Structure 1
Amino acid sequence: MESATAILINRHRLTESSLIVHWCAPDLGLFKTVAKGALRPQSAFAGRLDLFVTCEVVFLPSTKSDLHSLKEVHLVQPRLQMRNSYARVLAGTYFSKLVELVVERETPLGSVYELLQKSLDYLEGHEPSTRLVHRFENKLCEELGLGQVSAGAAGLLHETFHRPLPLQRAQLLEVLEVADGADAAVPRHDFT
């Protein structure tokens, strides 16, 4: 058995009652587990396998594949406030998918994990902004050893890894543009 503190960054159905859960941990990197029976009403995993939660996970490593068997999950940080805003969920999804795109599986992440954790913690209490998106991309380039980038980090990531950026980036920037336009249309009053 192995254990780790990890952020749940993705999940999807394996069978009618089981899930494949993608995790991000500082020492283990990106890894996947199967949560057998997770969708059953009386499952020990019920209410614990939501996006962006940080958990203490216990799993049995597989000797045949990269899909390990999840045994226990203990919530450390649920990040419940992220679910109050579509923009927050979209930003968290984009950040998670971008990390999945650019790092190797089951390789220690260190500072990349810390960047994702801090970004999700920020989104817990704040709405995302275009500035936050660019800052995350710039910092990710720096952490990956691509150097400090003041602008165009998304393009650099695309060129370096030869993969299209996650679709959530365009969706998020569109949502933020609409939100910025709505904020500009509301008259501001200075009551000081």
Structure 2
Amino acid sequence: MAAPEKTSGTLLRRVPLTETSLIVHWLSPDLGLLKTVAKGARRPKSPFAGRLDLFYRCEFLFVPARRGDLQTLTEVTVVDSRIGLRASYLQSLAAAYFVKLIEQVAEPGLPVPELEDLLERGLNYLASKAPDWRAIRHFERQLAEALGLGGPEHPAAAVIRQTFGELPAMRWELRDRLWPAGGAPD
């Protein structure tokens, strides 16, 4: 068995694997997108209980997979729960949009510290402030810049859509809820 590795990251997604286990998706500054299996995480007395929730910033240990891309999660310490993201539906929706965008453009296992830093800044902003349409557009512009796409003459959302496909559906709900009456430009 390989020696455990330690890293930090933001929890992006949790997917049931079995009745007792979860697949947990992370974004780590030094490992990029990473998938781990948390064995027994769904049991009431699991050592992972209360430590694996969306948008949590954690330090964790995992055992690298011998084959495939599913590492084994062995230990988790919550560094920042970002409880403010749960203050309103719009804060949670905007955070989910940021995460979906990052997942759409990032390559698994390829560290891109700029993307991780952008997500951290975006989630931390949303944890302390209600989202507005300018914040959403700013995140999109910063993402396009980090990817080396577009410029001021091209809307960031259009450039991202052209390069990576349709934007996550929650963008349109955010636009409808955050833009003042009359609709928003894309």
Q: TM-score, normalised by structure 1?
A: 0.89
Match of residue 157, structure 2, among 142, 154, 158: 154
1:143 to 137, 141, 146: 146
Structure 1: unaligned runs, 5 residues or longer: 182-192
Q: Distance in 1 between matches of 2:89 and 2:48?
A: 25
**Equivalent runs, 1:168-183 vs 2, <5 Å:** 168-177=170-179, 180=180
Alignment of 1:36-115 (within 5 A): 36-115=39-118
Greater gyration radius:
1
2:24 to 15, 21, 24: 21
2: CA distance between counterparts of 1:151 and 1:137?
Answer: 12
Structure 1 residue 167 and structure 2 residue 169: aligned?
yes
After superposing on structure 2, the runs of 4+ consecutive aligned residues of structure 1 that deviate more than 3 Å are 147-151
| 8 Å Cα contact 1:11/1:22 also seen in 2 | yes
Q: Is the 8 A contact 1:27 1:110 kept in 2?
A: yes
Aligned amino acid, residue 14 of structure 2: R
Q: Between Structure 1 and Structure 2, how many residues are aligned?
A: 178
CA displacement, residues 58-78 of structure 1 (integer Å, 9 cap, x when unaligned): 001112111111000001111
CA contact (8 A) 2:150 2:159 kept: no
User: Given that residues 83 and 127 in structure 2 are in contact (C-alpha distance below 8 angstroms), is that contact kept between their aligned partners in structure 1?
Assistant: yes
Could you say if the C-alpha distance between residues 11 and 149 of structure 1 is closer, same or farther in structure 2, counting changes exceeding 3 Å?
farther
Partner of 1:184: none
Native 8 Å contact 2:150 2:156 kept in 1: no
Extract unaligned runs of 5+ from structure 2: 182-186
Instruction: Flag the 1:112–1:19 CA change in 2: closer, same or farther, 3 A.
Output: same
- Residues of 2 paired with 1:117 and 1:148: CA distance? 23
Identify which of 119, 124, 146 aligns with 1:121: 124
CA gap 1:37/1:77 in 2 versus in 1, 3 angstroms? same
User: Alignment identity in percent?
Assistant: 47
Counterpart residue identity of residue 155, structure 1: A
In structure 1, give the amino acid aligned to 2:99: S
Do the aligned partners of 1:138 and 1:150 also contact (CA within 8 Å) in 2? no
**2 CA distance for matches of 1:50 and 1:150?**
39
Match of 1:6 among 9, 13, 29: 9
Shift of the alpha carbon at 1:155?
1.1
How far residue 151 of structure 1 moved from its aligned partner, in angstroms, is 5.3
